[in-house]
Amino acid sequence: MLTILVSNATIEGYFQVSFTVYAAEEIDLNDMLYAEGARFDPEKVCLPHTRDNIIDKINEWINSPNSDDVPRIFYLSGVAGSGKSTIAHTIAHRYEQLGRLGSSFCFDRADQANRRPDNIFSTIARDLADLDPQRKHVLWLTVKGKRSLHITRAPREQFDKFILIPAKNMHTIGPVVIVIDGLDECGDEGSRKVILFILAEAVRHLPSNFRILITARPETDIEKALASKHHVFCKRMDTIDAKSTSDDISLYVQAQLSDIEGLERRWPSGSWCLPLVERSEGLFQWAFTACRFITGDGKSGLDPVEQLDILLSPALSKHNLSTLDQLYFDILVRTFPSENAIFMDRFRLILGRVLAAHEPLSVSSLRELRCEDDYVDVGLVIHPLGSLLSGVAQQDVAVRPLHTSFQDFLKDATRSKQFFIDISLHHSRLTLACMRVMKRELRFNICSLETSYVRNTDVPDLTERVVEAISPRLSYSCRFWADHLQATAYEDIVFEALRYFLDTSCIG
């Protein structure tokens, strides 16, 4: 083994180059659990010159001289829509560019099947290994020849064996930054318990150059676990200067809307900006959603100036909802004929499918994952919701709520009223839909392999064969039909469909 280490001081932290050559040994960590898609999104960073105060504070903490007195964790908490995630993505993006981002893990309630409490630390460990060949080698020595350890789903074991031991067995210069966004979205209190224990207790044993930024809503269990720890620095979004927040939202709104044709004629001298900023009440998600609604794609039949008039109308409905909930409610009321019972049934059917799915589905998959008697056009419901959902304009891009708060809104009957989605009713329909897809598409030797006597790793074009032969809807159905069944109350129709499916064995 040959190792050459070169270090240089930089403006922000330190830069380290490590050249390592390992002879006669192949390091393969690919079978360790990894959360695909959990990485930060460079498109979700803060607009330049916004959130400078809090970002500067986080930068100062990251680049503080290493000592046991410097907290390992910066815990940033705040209500839904206050901009925590954008700050997290900004920090992750900045330190990736500096070569100091060890890992970023963004929980998403709409994708809990992939971003789970039992794969967070194995994902972070693999990212850290990719950052530094020395760390990768130490991790390999830890798991080498231990198949069960490779694939362990025990978070405490993952942290101790995959992160803590390698960290203690090597020396690095400069900060190692880890970003964990949306910790409150990793599950309920029970599934978060072990993660919180590790963050509250075990993290303090990491070397002093580790910096972990965590964002979350101030849930009781998270606050209790982190707020009083010596190695945790706590900052709440609502303690950020209100004027600074309003100024940042104003910059964002102007950047998004100032080029709209006809805006100045209707609202001269930028008089449209201040009312929008005031209505946001300090919530960046309100401003983001409002701007998407205003700029739209024309499917509502109204131009952007008319959409803006709607949002600023004094006649907006009031139901004692929160600022963000009120915006969601008003957009839905103005987009869909809520007095039409037939259409509302379609709305609940399609949005229920979106919210109940264990991982985000594309429009084409949502169209195929249906029951025999379901002929609703997915596009009629999905396409007008571009201000609230992503992926609505493409056939093969995952459809998901742009913000978790919209999902929470739809699942709460008190808040969403006639737009309420009872998720429990949709698991049975997805169970039937999955069995319908498997019955139609599964077949023996689906990838047309020449022989079954070779390992998967020895089939050179297996990935291409899988992509060609197994549709996304079939892949989803095979992986999650049992999960939907488990969440379904007994129904005769589901029982009969399950018995038929198992008895007839569509692949026999």
For 96-149, give the secondary structure using H, E and C.
Answer: HHCCCEEEEEECCHHHCCCCCCCCHHHHHHHHHHHHCHHHHHHHHHHHCCCHHH
With vertex at residue 407, the alpha carbon angle to CA 403 and CA 409, rounded to the nearest 5 degrees, is: 110
Q: Is 74 in contact with 212 (CB distance < 8 Å)?
A: yes
- H or E stretch covering 382: helix 378-382
Per residue in 160-210, pLDDT (tens digit) is 999 999 998 887 889 999 999 999 999 889 989 999 999 999 999 999 999
- Please report the pLDDT score of residue 316 as a whole number: 58
Per-residue pLDDT of the chain (508 residues; tens, 9 = 90+): 444 444 444 434 444 444 444 443 578 888 899 999 999 999 999 999 999 999 999 999 999 998 888 999 999 999 999 999 999 999 999 999 999 999 999 999 889 889 999 999 999 999 999 998 889 999 999 998 898 998 999 999 999 999 999 998 887 889 999 999 999 999 889 989 999 999 999 999 999 999 999 999 999 999 999 988 999 999 999 998 888 999 999 999 999 999 998 888 988 888 999 999 999 999 999 999 999 999 986 566 788 998 998 888 776 556 667 889 999 999 999 888 888 999 999 999 999 999 999 999 999 999 999 887 777 889 989 999 999 999 998 899 999 999 999 999 999 999 999 999 999 899 999 999 999 999 999 999 999 988 888 888 788 888 899 999 999 999 999 999 999 999 998 899 999 989 888 887 644 4
Task: Give the three-class secondary structure for 59.
Answer: helix
Q: Is 435 in contact with 498 (CB distance < 8 Å)?
A: yes
- Please report the pLDDT score of residue 272 as a whole number: 92
- Please report the pLDDT score of residue 500 as a whole number: 85
CA distance readout (Å), 389 to 211, 292, 382, 383? 33, 10, 8, 9
The residue assigned the tokens 């963004």 is 106
The residue assigned the tokens 């993952």 is 158
| Residue 249 in tokens | 């939202």
| Distance, CA of 331 to CA of 354 (rounded, Å) | 18
Return the bridge partners of 502, or none. none
| Distance, CA of 413 to CA of 331 (rounded, Å) | 17
| Distance, CA of 149 to CA of 165 (rounded, Å) | 14
- H or E stretch covering 414: helix 413-416
- Please report the pLDDT score of residue 298 as a whole number: 54
- Please report the pLDDT score of residue 86 as a whole number: 97
Q: For the chain, first and last CA: distance in Å?
A: 52
- Please report the pLDDT score of residue 20 as a whole number: 47
